[in-house]
Amino acid sequence: MMNSGYTNIDNQKIPGSVPAVSSPDHVALKFPESNLQTFPPSETQGKISGTFRPPTDADDTFSKPASGNTNNESQPSGWLRMFTVAAYKPYFDVDTSDVLERIKESLIPFKGSFSEKIVDNPDLYGPFWICTSLIFVAASIGTFITYLAHKLNKKEWNYDINLVTWSAGLFYGYVTIVPLLLYVILKYFSAPSGLVQLWCLYGYSLFVFIPASCLSIIPLELFRWVVAGVTGFMSASFVALNLRTHIMSAGERWFLLVAGIFLIQAALAVIWKLYFFTITVG
């Protein structure tokens, strides 16, 4: 028992002590459940959760802000948005299995179902790395067979660094400019297609050139022309057949458009063969 102003310690009263106050009932603090034990977090965005998809409207490809974007800063709208990193971020959110599946589709050109499969989730990750790999594979193998040809003929050989530069200009330029021009043409004929879908289609169409470049190391000119012909036919058929159904809505001129797409893609194979794998020993 404690008195006011005194504290009883070992039967002694000490003045000036603060009287004890009865403690209230124990209150349990509840903390929100942590997400540290779960991976990935429940609010992840992107392909895993399926809450973040690229816009699919053909005429509004770059005008829609990314869903789930919590950034309060103002973002450019309309066509200005295509010059921002945020506009392309969702198109690099793919799995390895998706990229491999689309590569397999590109090697079976007569199915014509590739465009239907990418209409809701086109990606630029696969096309970028396919194009980049092709640049270095074509340039390196072209340089190697040129070196062998000079050594076999006991001629002096000088490495041409411009081969890589021209290779990058050829393939990056083709896979960027040709789909862009086709996008404008299709809009003119009232058969608009998504620009990213076209970039995705053309990017994967170049994959067949990578194994073809490896086969071109065989020092037989006739064999290299056969490889170039088969490669051009497969790649051109893949693009033309995947766009045929869509372009048919353009009216009677649809056949000319499909034929033009086929011939331009086949011409790329001819340029690829002549530039990288035609050996001249001076």
What pLDDT does residue 158 have? 77
233 pLDDT tier (thresholds 50, 70, 90): very high
Identify the residue whose tokens are 């540290």.
36
What pLDDT does residue 245 have? 82
* Helix axes 96-106 and 125-152, enclosed angle (nearest 10): 60
SS3 percent helix, strand, coil of the chain, rounded to 5, is 55, 5, 40
Q: What is the mean pLDDT of residues 172-189?
A: 92
Query: Cα angle at 49 between 47 and 53, to 5 degrees?
Result: 45
Q: What is the mean pLDDT of residues 17-35?
A: 48
In the chain, where the domains are located? 123-276
> What pairs with residue 8 in β-bridges?
13
| pLDDT, tens digit, 9 for 90 and up, residues 89-100 | 888 888 899 999
87 pLDDT tier (thresholds 50, 70, 90): confident
Which amino acid is it at 81?
R
